[in-house]
Chain A
Amino acid sequence: MSGSETTAGGLSRRAAYEARQRKRAMRVAAGSTAAVVLALVLLVPLAPGWEKVQRSFFNGEVFAKTFPGLLEAFLTNIYIFAWCAPLIAVLGLVIALCRDVRAPALYPLRLFGAIYTDVFRGLPVILVIYLVGFGIPGLGLPRPWNSPYIWGSLALILVYAAYVAEIIRSGIDSIHGSQRAAAASLGLNEKDTMRFVVLPQAIRNVAPANMNMFIALQKDVALLSFIGPVEIFRQAGVYKSLMANFTPYVGAALIFLAVTIPATRYADYLMQKQRRART
């Protein structure tokens, strides 16, 4: 047989060459990574303040004592996230649809949608939390309606719904006009065209972008600590004051990362999958 076309392993010449290249690239990557890690491990402890930093940020004893409490406080973050997320999705969708109405009688809705997204995308989240979280209970509402959990959550919902609305609207715009034409040619009205043809495709297209919004929301729940709720960030602050040590903050950071890194990776994976599907 013609030995020039395939090698002993049955690989084509090209495949054998590429396998060699991959192995070589892996060796180089492993070598350079090891060198950098080694340098960090050896050099950082040589810094003059390292001992002090280690004691106040990476104190194993404090970490072990405070970590269970931090985990428990993180449940509060999860609760707040869990009731905010669906409300944000619904309000975001409503606002996006408001901005898409064509009927002249509904123009006020359109105007409202535009002003809403402009205002809430234009303000820092923390400012909205302060204004809503301190302002509304200031009306002298009776318990439980003066709870910072309620009004803090409302602030998050208002801000994030504005972003989600814009994302959904860009999804609606991304659906090609030929889909609307096909729906119209079948006699479907505008409402049914939106509900059955445009929206399902639009929402699927922007799912990864919305995922990223919800990851950001998960982090921003910590901002509610500024108006009262004892969630993980605030709890870490309490521990810091009690023990005069910053390690609880590092613990809190680890807990956040344990949630956000897998979630971000998953969103990236979704986005990549979508890009592949389109080509």
Chain B
Amino acid sequence: MSAKLVLSGVRKRFGDNEVCKGIDLTVQEGQMVCLIGASGSGKSTLLRCINLLEPVDDGTILLDGRDIAEPGLDPQPVRARIGMVFQSYNLFPHMTAAENVMLAPRRVHGRSRSDLQAPVTALFERFNLGDRMGHYPDQLSGGQQQRVAIIRALAMQPEIMLFDEITSALDPELVGEVLDVLRSLRAEGMTMILATHEMAFAQEVADKVCFLDKGRILEEGPPETIFGAPREARTAAFLSRVL
């Protein structure tokens, strides 16, 4: 295995509030890394920094050995290689599910609709949404919308996928269908970073779990260690609150 993504000393502040206080993190090719921690611990901001949605103040982010956190670097080609899925889906409400998915491959990769028809249909069918391609987001359930959002990111054939608490806005009975999608991606070897409150899921599928506390990774390791025998008292306290 080789290191796909290496973060060193990543810092990000909003005004007086330093949200990421020097984060080091290595993600191997094909690994699934779960970020856990209380709200406001910096999980979402870290993901947004990796995708360059937030400019990093300090530190480096190496993607395949190349620093993407360099100030002045054009972010668009980098973002096209990294998929991101948001808590609130953020589908484009004026486009059908299929149009949502095709927009970026058409505009960024310059592919035609007819070219995309087959692979996009295959993606929808893979996630049991074959009959929903012509639906608008407001005609879909939350779980369906979130799966379309995942398909939209996958259609760009990203090298890494970032998931920002993607089940937090869903009704409990819809969480399962979205987690199934993640299991499927995990099985195919997608490199993924997941900010999540689904502890049972993290325990089941993660290769590595990182516990974030006040903008730092306080503790990281395989799920058995983090959930079974945490080293830090604060990790144990957090887990006892959420488990």
Binding partners A and B: yes
7 more A-B contacts (CB under 8 A) besides A181-B90, A187-B156, A189-B76?
A: A182-B86, A185-B51, A185-B153, A186-B152, A186-B156, A187-B104, A201-B92
Q: Are B79's CB and A186's CB within 8 A?
A: yes
Q: Are B86's CB and A181's CB within 8 A?
A: yes
**Chain B neighbourhood of A196, CB < 8 A:** 92, 103, 107
**Chain A neighbourhood of B77, CB < 8 A:** 187
Q: Are A201's CB and B53's CB within 8 A?
A: no
Query: Is A192 an interface position by the 8 A CB rule?
Result: yes
Q: Are A187's CB and B53's CB within 8 A?
A: no
Query: Is A207 an interface position by the 8 A CB rule?
Result: no
Q: Are A187's CB and B86's CB within 8 A?
A: no
- In the complex, what distance in Å separates the CA atom of A179 from the CA atom of B94? 11
- In the complex, what distance in Å separates the CA atom of A187 from the CA atom of B156? 9
Query: Is A200 an interface position by the 8 A CB rule?
Result: yes
Point out residues on B near A: beta carbons under 8 Å: 48, 51, 53, 75-77, 79-84, 86, 88, 90-94, 103-104, 107-108, 149, 152-153, 156
**Chain B neighbourhood of A183, CB < 8 A:** 92, 104
Chain A interfacial residues counted at CB < 8 A? 17
Specify which of B79, B86, B90, B93 is in contact with A201 (CB 8 Å cutoff): B93
State the 10 A-B residue pairs at the shortest beta-carbon distance, nearest first: A187-B80, A182-B90, A186-B104, A185-B84, A187-B108, A187-B79, A192-B107, A178-B90, A200-B94, A187-B76
Q: Which chain B residue has the least Cβ–Cβ distance from A178?
A: B90
Q: Are A186's CB and B108's CB within 8 A?
A: yes
Q: Are B156's CB and A178's CB within 8 A?
A: no
Q: Are A185's CB and B79's CB within 8 A?
A: yes
- In the complex, what distance in Å separates the CA atom of A154 from the CA atom of B1? 68
Q: Are A186's CB and B53's CB within 8 A?
A: no
* Minimum Cβ distance to chain B for residue A207 (Å): 12
Point out residues on A near B: beta carbons under 8 Å: 178-179, 181-189, 192, 196-197, 200-201, 204
- In the complex, what distance in Å separates the CA atom of A180 from the CA atom of B94? 14
* Minimum Cβ distance to chain B for residue A60 (Å): 52
* Minimum Cβ distance to chain B for residue A102 (Å): 14
Q: Are B94's CB and A201's CB within 8 A?
A: yes
**Chain B neighbourhood of A204, CB < 8 A:** 94
Specify which of B81, B84, B92, B149 is in contact with A197 (CB 8 Å cutoff): B92
* Minimum Cβ distance to chain B for residue A174 (Å): 13
**Chain B neighbourhood of A192, CB < 8 A:** 107
Q: Are A188's CB and B92's CB within 8 A?
A: no
Q: Which chain B residue has the least Cβ–Cβ distance from A204?
A: B94
**Chain B neighbourhood of A197, CB < 8 A:** 92, 103
- In the complex, what distance in Å separates the CA atom of A229 from the CA atom of B92? 47
Q: Give 23 A-B contacts (CB < 8 Å), ordered by A residue.
A: A178-B86, A179-B90, A179-B92, A181-B53, A182-B92, A182-B149, A184-B76, A185-B153, A186-B80, A186-B104, A186-B152, A187-B81, A187-B104, A187-B156, A188-B76, A188-B103, A188-B104, A189-B76, A196-B103, A197-B103, A200-B94, A201-B92, A201-B94
- In the complex, what distance in Å separates the CA atom of A200 from the CA atom of B94? 7
- In the complex, what distance in Å separates the CA atom of A183 from the CA atom of B75? 13
Specify which of A179, A184, A188, A200 is in contact with B53 (CB 8 Å cutoff): A184
**Chain B neighbourhood of A187, CB < 8 A:** 76-77, 79-81, 104, 108, 156
**Chain A neighbourhood of B93, CB < 8 A:** 201
